[in-house]
Amino acid sequence: MDLQLRDKVALVTGGGQGVGEAICRQLHAEGARVAVLDADLARAERVASALGGIGVSANVADTHAVEAALKRIDDAFGALHVVVSNVGLTLPGALEEMTDPDIERTLAVNIRGALNVTRAAVPRLRAAKWGRLIYIGSGSGLKASAGLALYSASKYFLHGLCVAAGLELGRDGITANIICPSDIYPEGESPAGSWLDPKLVAVSCQKEGVSSLEELAARRIARTPAGRSCATRDVALLAAFLASPMADFINAQAIGVNGGSIPT
């Protein structure tokens, strides 16, 4: 199926690895010109060079850095049509274990970062008279997770931001949707980074009463009607469809990608 993305310009934040990289590659496969933004410039440039795009680096929590990155995209491509806000971090821990630095980091990256990218992108999407805002949320933004209060709260925020953006911008030909995947376990050469955190593995294993990530995955997969876990490809394929003109009537929606483990 031709998703009609040829020559559309797409920005993917956190595009240097994992889910972000998979989305970059899928958008490129559909003909989009891709700008890869990552805190690590080497990662961004590695992905971008393979796709004929550009790699840029910015701390999304820094308003001026985000604007400078988008100016580079303006200079390189002359337009912006699709923005995938994928950057996020997971700081696990019980409520009483939350520290001020953890709260500030989560607010800076998961909340302020999404706001900064959105508000910098909107004038550019309006200038193009067509646009797509796609947020990468989480199953924890549909059903909060014990031991992940900070993360869950930030993903619920992202859900709210997405819906509000879709309602505000829909009449301008700009849609906003949020993809909410279930657990994506390490895969391939560019794994999703969250499960590389021993504390996240420990908190999650304790909840499930298991002793390893492998056991954790097996137990959760056994409860999933589709019989497997979510993969980066699942998210990338949906992101490409939502980015396309064919998804014009999908707006202000939270879409679970979870094989039926969180029915809505």
Concatenate the DSSP letters of all residues of 148-205 into one string.
Answer: BHHHHHHHHHHHHHHHHHHHHHGGGTEEEEEEEE--B---SSS--SGGG-HHHHHHHH
Determine the Cα–Cα distance for residues 82 and 73; give it in Å rounded to an integer. Answer: 12
Question: Closest by alpha carbon to 24, among 184, 259, 156, 190?
Answer: 190
Measured CA to CA in angstroms, residue 172 lies from 125, 127, 164, 235, 252 at distances of 9, 10, 14, 26, 14
Report whether 85 contacts 65 (CB < 8 A). Answer: no
Q: Any idea what DSSP says for residue 97? A: G
> Active site includes 151?
yes
Question: Closest by alpha carbon to 191, among 12, 13, 10, 16?
Answer: 16
Determine the Cα–Cα distance for residues 16 and 100; give it in Å rounded to an integer. Answer: 28
The catalytically annotated residue of 135, 151, 156, 185 is 151
Report whether 98 contacts 104 (CB < 8 A). Answer: no
Cβ neighbours, 10 Å, residue 78: 9
Q: Which positions are catalytic? A: 151
